[in-house]
Amino acid sequence: MAIENKPISKEIKTQAVIDSFKKLNPLVMIKNPVMFVVEVGTFITLILSIKPDIFGFDTVGRTYNIAVFLILLFTVLFANFAEALAEGRGKAQADTLRKTKSETTAKLRHKDGSYQDVPSTSLRKGDIVRVDTGEIIPSDGEIIVGLASIDESAITGESAPVIKEAGGDFSSVTGGTRVVSDFIIVKILTDPGESFIDRMISLVEGAARQKTPNEVALTTLLAVLTLVFLIVIMTLVPIANYLDVSIDVATLIALLVCLIPTTIGGLLSAIGIAGMNRVTQFNVLAMSGKAVEAAGDIDTMILDKTGTITFGNRMASEFIPVGSITEKDVTFASLKSSVKDETPEGRSVVELAHKNGLSWDENEYKDAEIIEFTAETRMSGLNLKDGTVIRKGAVDAIKKYIAAKGGSIPSDLEEKSNIVAKAGGTPLAVAINDKVYGVIYLKDTVKPGLKERFEELRAMGIKTVMCTGDNPLTASTIAREAGVDEFIAEAKPEDKIAAIKKEQDDGKLVAMTGDGTNDAPALAQADVGLAMNSGTMAAKEAANMIDLDSDPTKLLSVIAIGKQLLITRGSLTTFSIANDIAKYFAIIPALFIMAIPQLDYLNIMGLSSPKSAILSALIFNAIIIPLLIPVAMKGAKYKPMDANKLLSKNLFIYGFGGVVAPFIGIKIIDMLVSTLQFV
């Protein structure tokens, strides 16, 4: 089921608040070194709030200690809330996915050929089942016998059924989908709990989420910075003693919390979880966060022509008459055959007929019997109330149909059908009653808007390469029309792998899409391999991402999400480190201004008192985390552009802004805090 990017519900927010307190467990907090240090400081200030002189001296009083404790507690809770909110949205998505799963009955085939009804949960890898018209496919598998129309709306949200058949690239079926016509024999390829839906549920809930290499590296850096500042704080004590300056424990803890990168430390996990959630909102099953992150660094995209750059379902481009039929007559016959056909091909026939100047009366077809396309007949059409029978379908199917009715086959039907086929198109024959009127030329055309999207990728420095089995002349025409940078004509599976390796040898990261068994080696070789859910199991096992909608152009969106994830993490890290600068100007002068009056020159914000300065910086440090949660959840605003321009823009917004915002924020808070008597 397609997952929509809905606003966060009140229930999710309420549960996130509860989970914020549950995450105070030190065994959970220790996974985040920065916030674990803050929690330890919170515990120490709690003790000081109860017994201010526990360390042998008390220079600030119980009220000040309580204030520091509460601010630190809220700092930790806000960080936990950000992570819990991201996890809560993932759990809500998982609940949506669970609705697609239902306990169904499967017809299990025994070795003697007999069938037995069993619960779908009892099926194991290797079992053989039969699924008839109207029945739910019990588990993920591959068709080994038969051909059928499958309704995958429960998984993809797309209402139009798709044709699946044994032995081809479209033999894979997903549990929870429904057979619309015919029957199929399916070999089960997963054990209970291992289906795509189960894996997707696990991923969006966060149970299977592993930190990406960049996230691990950043976590390590933050831990090192925290250790460095902890050593710095420890050295301040002897320096203060030498200057006859008394620094209480609560102030030292406050200084440490303000110095360490608590902002990014508190939001880092939420950024990663939210990034994975954004991918699942596009109905993409990412096997790991590493794949999503790699998508953000892609340099080259390898794209198949059919179904990716061009419409795989093909669109009507010409009506070709046969025998003595006129072009207008075959156009009208084609229109009649398609007025009730809601498939993309059917709609394209109606649109082309309309462009050619023909119209139709809806009342004429109001009570017509609609003949749906089936894999067995390979035809569709209408039976009108006056007895007129209209059919449209594969040329050989129409020929057999007309022959069975005793009609004659035009001598030029075969010739004109072959011309269409040799040009790379798909011929559909049209007949009314026992007479063939002509051929509909279905042409694979470039998808609208792709040229603009390729220009966006080019602006990001990503090169696009089209792979096709077409001859160089046809490939060149499509490549020019689509706007790709390069193309490989008459490509074989090994050519795709060679193209990927060539780019990788030049130090590039490569992404590609595919759906067939012959695409599996290339999908495995690519840094980001996006397999179609409608494709073979081999392709899906080789890839590190699976598109449940089977839309090959989805890779363009995945790349954008990957870049947004990297930019969000980088932007908030820049902001976190930048806003520490202002906190240095607030706290350092406050600590030593009594002993070293010259430090007053550093008090450029004109803060009221040492206590007020420390509490103001600490409060700002706490409230900036919830203020940045929307950015962490939605991602930093991203627009395709040159990397240098993007870097300059974000450095200004999050770097310069990260320096200026605390100066303003801390000063405003200081004006409010200074009115309190204890400061």
Name every residue whose Cβ is closer than 8 Å to that of residue 343 and which is 6 or more positions away in sequence.
Answer: 160, 313, 373
Name every residue whose Cβ is closer than 8 Å to that of residue 601 and which is 6 or more positions away in sequence.
Answer: none
- Could you list the residues known to form a binding site for ATP, using ranges: 341, 345, 373-380, 392
Closest by CA position to 627, among listed 78, 255, 258, 84 = 78
Helix (H) or strand (E) holding 319: strand 315-321
Name every residue whose Cβ is closer than 8 Å to that of residue 644 and which is 6 or more positions away in sequence.
Answer: none
Q: What is the rounded CA–CA span in Å between residue 113 and residue 129?
A: 11
* Contact yes or no for 554/282 (Cβ under 8 A): yes
**C-alpha triplet 639, 645, 648: angle, nearest 5°:** 110
> Which alpha helices (DSSP H) does 243-261 contain, by range?
249-259
Q: What is the rounded CA–CA span in Å between residue 587 and residue 253?
A: 12
Edge-to-edge order in the sheet of strand 315-321: 315-321, 435-443, 426-432, 389-394, 379-383, 369-371
Burial state string for 80-109 with b = 16 or more CB within 10 A and e = fewer than 16: bbbbbbbbbbbbbbbebbeebeeebebbbb
Name the residue type at position 677.
Q
Show which residues are catalytic: 304
Q: What is the rounded CA–CA span in Å between residue 344 and residue 316?
A: 10
Torsion on CA atoms 556, 557, 562, 567, rounded to nearest 10: 110
Helix 33-50 / helix 62-98 crossing angle, nearest 10 deg: 140
Quick one: three-class SS letters along 562-621? HHHHHHHHHHHHHHHHHHHHHHHHHHHHHHHCCCCHHHHHHCCCCCCCHHHHHHHHHHHH
| Token reading at 450 | 């792709």
Collapse the DSSP code of 194 into the 3-class scheme (helix H, G, I; strand E, B; otherwise coil) and give the result. coil
Terminal-residue alpha carbon distance, the chain: 57
Taken as a whole, the chain contains a residue count of: 679
Question: Residue 448 carries which DSSP code?
Answer: T
Q: What is the rounded CA–CA span in Å between residue 391 and residue 407?
A: 14
CA gyration radius for the chain?
Answer: 33
Quick one: three-class SS letters along 452-488? HHHHHHHHCCCEEEEECCCCHHHHHHHHHHHCCCEEE
| Token reading at 201 | 């549920």
- Phi first, then psi: what are they for 565, rounded to 5°? -65, -45
- Could you list the residues known to form a binding site, using ranges: 341, 345, 373-380, 392, 515, 519
- Could you list the residues known to form a binding site for Mg(2+), using ranges: 515, 519
